[in-house]
Each structure stands twice: as C-alpha cells, then as structure tokens.
Amino acid sequence: MSTLPIEYIRMSRMFRELVEGKEIVSFEVPAHKFFARNEVLYLSTVLDYDAKKLENMISDMKYGRVVVEKMWAIRLDADMFKEPKKVLLPDLASNQIDGNVEEVENGHIVNIHVNGVRDLVRMAIFDRQSYKDVVIVRRSPLPALIRYAAFV
C-alpha cells in the first residue's frame, strides 16, 4: 500500500472586496501548514528568493526538507476558537502594487500599498540565530496576522 505525498502548495479561492472604495482582488490563506500559490509571492519578496525556486523548495517539504513553516494565519476580528473566519491577502499579481521598505534592528519592514490603499499590508522579516521570522499583517477591514519561520 503506497501513500501519496502531501502537496503543500495549493490553489485557493479568489475574492473581490471593497477597501476604502477601491476594488481589490484577494485570495484565501490556509490557516496553517499549507500555502496558497499566491502566498509564495509574499514570501519570495521578503526572503529575496526567486518565486519559482521558493515554490519548488516548499514543494520538496513532502520529502522532509523543511524550508518555510507556517505557524498560523488568524483573523484579528474573530474568536479563533468559536468562529474562525477566512484570512484574505491581496493578490500581488492581480492588483497595482506599490510600497516602501523601512530598516529596523535585525531586519526590515515592507509597507505595501494596494490599488491606492496605503499600508494595507505590512510585512516584517527579522533575522534570528537559526532562522528568519516573517510576519505579515493586514489592517482593517478584515485584519489578519500570519507568521512563518523560514530556514533559508
């Protein structure tokens, strides 16, 4: 009896939402362990890796080589035990994206402006001793927090 390998990168549903009067195309982020295909663009941006190479490295996790581990993805406006809600992030490929980078101690912060909505998403990366701590914060409406540990 053989077992099929786990596919860590999956397609996710896309949504259209209105933020400050602007239409934004977003995708649903899996709560933990698995990655949406569009999520890899966020990680490749802050980790400074080619998106295709990072996608292949994440796919190889089915063989036991952990590269990026998603700790959790939670909505900040919901009780995660009583009523878990979908975590949505703007799709970087389908929207007009602009932003800036701030240097901080042991890392940097990337502010992303989506379709003219300033600082809708903030990504932070901090260098730890044996890994990189990546945090993505989406502000209201639908505030969310996503955390990863990257071993690259």
Note down pLDDT in tens along the chain; length 152 residues: 456 667 889 999 999 999 999 999 999 999 888 999 999 999 999 998 899 999 999 988 888 888 999 999 999 998 877 777 899 999 999 999 999 999 999 999 999 999 999 999 999 999 999 999 999 999 999 999 999 999 98
Gyration radius of the chain's alpha carbons: 16
pLDDT of residue 7: 85
Q: What per-residue confidence (pLDDT) applies to 39?
A: 95
3-state SS class at 54: helix
Tokens 């089915």 locate to 62
Q: What is the pLDDT of residue 20?
A: 94
Torsion (CA) 17, 116, 49, 9 in degrees, nearest 10: 0
Residue 72's DSSP bridge partners are 147
What was the pLDDT predicted at 81?
Answer: 75
Backbone phi and psi for residue 46, each to the nearest 5 degrees, phi listed first: -80, -25
> Residue 90's closest CA among 19, 31, 9, 20?
19
Q: Which residues of 8-24 are buried (b: 16+ CB within 10 A; e: fewer)?
A: bbeebeeeeeebeeeeb
Token pair in block for residue 93:
């490929």
Predicted TM-score of the model (pTM) = 0.91
Contact 89, 136 (CB under 8 A): yes
CB-based contacts of 75: which residues, under 8 Å, 6+ apart?
84, 85, 86, 87, 142, 143, 144
In single-letter form, the type of residue at position 62 comes to K
